[in-house]
C-alpha cells in the first residue's frame, strides 16, 4: 500500500468520491498543512490553525498509480479557485497536495504543468511536503455513506459523486 494526502475543498466530498475508485483501500479524512497540533474541527473551520481539510488515501499502487490518483484529484475540484470550492470558503478548503516523497512531488508538479495548459486561470494548488496528518473526529469518517439523508449530502456531495461516476462510464 502507498499513501497520498490532498485537499480539494470539503473532505466529505473528496472521501465519498475516492471510496468509489478501484485500487483505493481506505480513506481517512483529517487536517494537514497547519501548525497547530491535534486541531479540532471547530478550530479548523474558523481558519485558526492553518490546516486544510484533507483526505489521506491508502491505495494499492499495483492497481492504481499515484499519477492516476492525482488525475482523479484534479478532476473532482476546481484547482483555480484560491481557498474555495463552491460555497465552502476559507484556507481550510484550499486545493493542496502534500507529497510523501520526491516521486510524488515530481508527479504532482508534472501533472500541474500539463494541466495548466487546459485552464485560462492559474492553478493555485499548493504542492508541499507532507509533515503531519491529524485524523478528524469520528463523525467525519465515511460521512456521506453514514448520512445520505442529510441536506448537505443530498445537495452538495451526491451530485459530485454522481457526476464523477457518470463520467467514468
Catalytic residue set: 10
> 148: how many CB neighbours lie within 10 A of its CB?
12
> 162: how many CB neighbours lie within 10 A of its CB?
10
**Which residues are CB-neighbours of 148 under 8 A, at least 6 positions away?**
154, 158
* Helix, strand, coil abundance in the chain, percent, nearest 5: 40, 25, 40
Amino acid at each position: 500500500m502507498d499513501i497520498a494526502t490532498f485537499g480539494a475543498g470539503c473532505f466529505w466530498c473528496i472521501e465519498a468520491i475516492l471510496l468509489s475508485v478501484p485500487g483505493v483501500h481506505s480513506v481517512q479524512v483529517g487536517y494537514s498543512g497547519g501548525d497547530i497540533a491535534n486541531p479540532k474541527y471547530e478550530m479548523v473551520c474558523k481558519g485558526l490553525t492553518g490546516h486544510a481539510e484533507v483526505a489521506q488515501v491508502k491505495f494499492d499502487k499495483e492497481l492504481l498509480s499515484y499519477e492516476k490518483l492525482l488525475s482523479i484529484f484534479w478532476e473532482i475540484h476546481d484547482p483555480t479557485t484560491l481557498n474555495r470550492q463552491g460555497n465552502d470558503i476559507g484556507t481550510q478548503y484550499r486545493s493542496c497536495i502534500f507529497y510523501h516523497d520526491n516521486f510524488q512531488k515530481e508527479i504532482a508538479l508534472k501533472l500541474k504543468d500539463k494541466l495548466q495548459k487546459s485552464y485560462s486561470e492559474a492553478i493555485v494548488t499548493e504542492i508541499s511536503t507532507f509533515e503531519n496528518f491529524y485524523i478528524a473526529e469520528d463523525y467525519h469518517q465515511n460521512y456521506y455513506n453514514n448520512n445520505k439523508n442529510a441536506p448537505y449530502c443530498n445537495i452538495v456531495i451526491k451530485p459530485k459523486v454522481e457526476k464523477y461516476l457518470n463520467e467514468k462510464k
